[in-house]
Amino acid sequence: MKKTKTDILILGSGIAGLSLAIKASSLGKVSVVTKAACSESNTRLAQGGIACVWDEQDNFLKHIEDTLTAGAGHCKREAVELMVKTAPQRIQELAELGVPFTSSGSKKFELGREGGHSHNRILHIDDQSGMAIENVLIEKARSITNIEFFEYHFAAGLLKDENNKCTGAVVLDTKNTEMHLFNSKVTVLATGGAGQVYEQTTNPLIATGDGYAMASLAGAKLKDMEFVQFHPTSLFHPQANGFLISEALRGFGAELVLPDGTMFMKKYHKLGSLAPRDIVSRSIFTEMKKHQIPCVYLDATSHKSEELLKKFPSIYKMCFQLGIDISEELIPVVPSAHYMCGGVLADLNGLTSIENLFAIGEVSCTGVHGANRLASNSLLEGLVFADQAFKYIRKNRTELFAVNASDPCIDYPYLDKQADKREIEYLKSDLRKMMWEKVGITRNTKELIVAKSIIEESENRIANWLSKNTLNEDLLSLRNMVITSKIIIESTLKRKESMGTHFIEEKKILYKNDQILA
Ligand SMILES: Cc1cc2nc3c(=O)[nH]c(=O)nc-3n(C[C@H](O)[C@H](O)[C@H](O)COP(=O)(O)OP(=O)(O)OC[C@H]3O[C@@H](n4cnc5c(N)ncnc54)[C@H](O)[C@@H]3O)c2cc1C
């Protein structure tokens, strides 16, 4: 077994992991462990951009209020204020690193608008914001000698000492099929979300909830896992792989319509197609059920093709490749699992309930998103809390680095690549279908109880399998998906009232105002 001693071990190479790695490299040796190629992440897929108060007409209070409103009164105000007020500094740092934010005319940065925002405040890089940010961060991190990358390294479990302090992680080197033990002074979960536990998702294959599972197995507290955000508009096409049609297109005037072109969103909310995401997703779902249709449509045909191509090049090109000219035809869309609002409980410094273990970015629950995330607040959360964690580690380095990073005595099973891939894929697909049907956009207690018993059966089956079979990435990611799903189901069952993204069918009233039909 390979062994690496490091000061700061970062699991994950999205915006949260990379931005912390770059800063933390001034404090010691940093190891970035990531399960696929470095760029493979949710971050890379982000289209819309990053929310930040930048315009003189806008102010912090408005961004704070918008975030709290979207979060359905469940956000931690302190965390929201911290995020909103420090956003301009973090954006400035990104710009200084070379992130080419789109500018407009005399204005330094062009500011887009997305659902739930009362002002234009979305900084973006055309419609490929995440890709541009990820590329700049990777380039910068790779240029720093204190940072070492371990690509195709799958973190399997966290290590703790006898004082319950985190001392590193057990990792599978999936290219060389060998175990790799990382002993670290500080360990950071930056493993992103869990969209892959659902049949319909905008998330890439890496998003199997590994961080939630590892944290839970290590005994860390998790919070708000019932709040799964479903993006209202992913492209409905067999070859689209959950490709996202950004809210920015609706911000630009595209309207949600039925197959005959009838608009329907004003029935559900005064902001129409730009209502908060949970309301739009549920409204679409209701219309699909009512009209027995597999999808609804986005109508962007009031714009010329040159305009759409310039503003939304990747959406335009993707649809065009699939035979849809969005300047002339309606775009078929369905809601899809998109973002985990809850996660590993972390304080304002990213510190979890386990000493020396931090959680930042989507895997964490800082309280910023409450019951529903406001659009384009998640890249920002990753940046802001990576910075918070950096400052905390810098300030408390002596104490944190005093952890005893000695080798634990664990007998690791032999790693075998040949374990049954097909059966694992089959189980994953069953799980994803079950989560979509029983723990999806609308929920009811009866179905949730059935889901719980199915997941417990899967858990037993996997435990049995793990005891007989050898460890490998496929089996571990299935285990993580099952553990994460179980946590989602259990949290969902505990939340009796509808709130934000969590909608219980048997209670008919979602919000007290009468703009919403439940
Ligand atoms: C299609 C799409 C569009 C989006 N658009 C926006 C937007 O416009 N604005 C916005 O603010 N947010 C957007 N989001 C959400 C946002 O992209 C994510 O919440 C954010 O990028 C999460 O960043 P992160 O660093 O926490 O995780 P990620 O970027 O997902 O990175 C997680 C990393 O952890 C690694 N990893 C996972 N498990 C393991 C393991 N076991 N071992 C080792 N490595 C592991 C992954 O390989 C990856 O490198 C969008 C999301 C999607 C899917």
DSSP letters, 270-304, are TTGGGS-HHHHHHHHHHHHHHHT-S-EEEE-TTS-
Polymer length in residues for the chain:
518
Which one-letter amino acid corresponds to residue 152?
Y
Range from 72-81, 274-283, 499-508 carrying the lowest mean pLDDT: 499-508
Atom of ligand 1 nearest to the CA of 214: 41
Atom of ligand 1 nearest to the CA of 477: 41
Is residue 248 over pLDDT 80? Answer: yes
- Tell me the mean pLDDT in the region 187-208: 97
Quick one: pLDDT at residue 67? 97
Domain boundaries, the chain: 2-227+341-400, 232-335
Is residue 109 over pLDDT 70? Answer: yes
Beta strand segments in 196-268, E: 222-223, 228-235, 255-257
**pLDDT tens for residues 449-461?**
999 999 999 999 8
Query: Which residues contact ligand 1 via a Cβ below 6 A?
Result: 11-17, 33-36, 40-43, 45-50, 129-130, 154-155, 190-192, 202-203, 206, 210, 244, 339, 361-363, 376-379, 382
Q: What are the residue ranges of helices labelled H in 98-203? A: 129-142
Atom of ligand 1 nearest to the CA of 248: 8
Phi/psi for 233 (5° steps) reads -130, 85
For the beta carbon of residue 16, count every other beta carbon within 10 angstroms: 34
Q: Which of 379, 481, 484 is the best mutation target for the ligand 1 pocket, counting ligand atoms within 8 Å of the beta carbon and taking the most?
A: 379
Name the nearest CA neighbour of 189 among 23, 67, 357, 69: 357
- Tell me the mean pLDDT in the region 220-225: 98
And the tokens for 121? 């405040």
Q: In CATH, what class is 2-227+341-400?
A: alpha beta
Quick one: pLDDT at residue 417? 56
- Tell me the mean pLDDT in the region 299-312: 94
Q: What is the mean pLDDT of the chain?
A: 92
d(CA 281, CA 276): 9
Task: Name the more confident of 507 and 17.
Answer: 17
Quick one: pLDDT at residue 15? 98
- Tell me the mean pLDDT in the region 433-440: 95
Which residues are known catalytic residues? 277
Nearest protein Cα to ligand 1, atom 26:
361
d(CA 337, CA 335): 7
| CATH number corresponding to 232-335 | 3.90.700.10
Range from 112-121, 364-373, 484-493, 509-518 carrying the lowest mean pLDDT: 509-518
Is residue 132 over pLDDT 70? Answer: yes
Helical (H) or strand (E) element with 449? helix 445-468
Cα(93) to centroid of ligand 1, in Å? 20
Quick one: pLDDT at residue 418? 60
Could you give the strand order of the β-sheet that contains 343-345, starting from the edge strand earlier in sequence? 222-223, 343-345, 364-365
d(CA 511, CA 70): 12
- Tell me the mean pLDDT in the region 200-210: 96
Is residue 513 over pLDDT 60? Answer: no
Strand 228-235, strand 331-340: pairing: antiparallel
**Structural Rg of the chain based on CA atoms:** 22
Q: Which of 18, 40, 42, 241 is the best mutation target for the ligand 1 pocket, counting ligand atoms within 8 Å of the beta carbon and taking the most?
A: 42
Is residue 116 over pLDDT 60? Answer: yes
**pLDDT tens for residues 338-353?**
999 999 999 999 999 9
| Eight-state DSSP code of residue 128 | -
Nearest protein Cα to ligand 1, atom 49:
13
